[in-house]
Amino acid sequence: MNNIKNLKLEVPKLIDQLKKDLISKVKNSYAPYSNFHVVAALITKNNIYFGVNVENRSFGLTNCAERSAIFSAISNGDTDFVSIFIYSPDYDEPIPPCGACRQVISEFSKDLPIVMLSKDFDYEITTIDKLLPKDSLNKLNEKMN
């Protein structure tokens, strides 16, 4: 929870720094079926990785913005995640990650601060433990290790 306490002070400044890129990069989203465009900014200790949602006619093959950003960081050997920001110009409320993204986030960080932004850049901060309570897969993995 310390990560969130520390981040709360920085979020307004980080939003100001990220806003231009979020607005610009969300235009790269490929969402011809839902017209629901999302961008995520994964901040690591060394970099910022952006990802957008990429839909497919076979909806199960769609990739969300959060996973795109995480996979980009991992592809570049960067796993020191600090926080992730999620933004959609099409969503009035702060936008939460979907279930698949929650599972992927939990694979790499239990306490990663998740900053969910509304289209007007209002925000909520949470962690995966709050969004994915009683994660049985993680408990099973802990027992196996």
Instruction: Give 34-85 as a DSSP string.
Output: T----EEEEEESS-EEEEE-B--SSGGG-B-HHHHHHHHHHHTT---EEEEE
Return d(Cα 7, Cα 118) in angstroms, integer.
18
Q: Delineate the domains of the chain, giving CATH numbers in brackets.
A: 2-144 (3.40.140.10)
pLDDT, one tens digit per residue, over 12-21 is 999 999 999 9
Give the C-alpha separation, 25 to 87, whole Å.
10
Going 115 to 106 to 75 to 36, the CA torsion angle's sign is negative
pLDDT in tens, 46-98: 999 999 999 999 988 999 999 999 999 999 999 999 999 999 999 999 999 99
Q: Inform me whether the pLDDT recorded for 4 exceeds 90.
A: no
pTM score, whole prediction: 0.89
pLDDT at site 145: 57
Measured CA to CA, the distance from residue 18 to residue 138 in angstroms comes to: 31
Catalytic residue check, 66 = yes
* pLDDT over 50 (residue 5): yes
> Does residue 140 register a pLDDT over 80?
no
Q: Which residue in 10, 66, 107, 124 is the catalytic one?
A: 66
What pLDDT sits at residue 111?
86
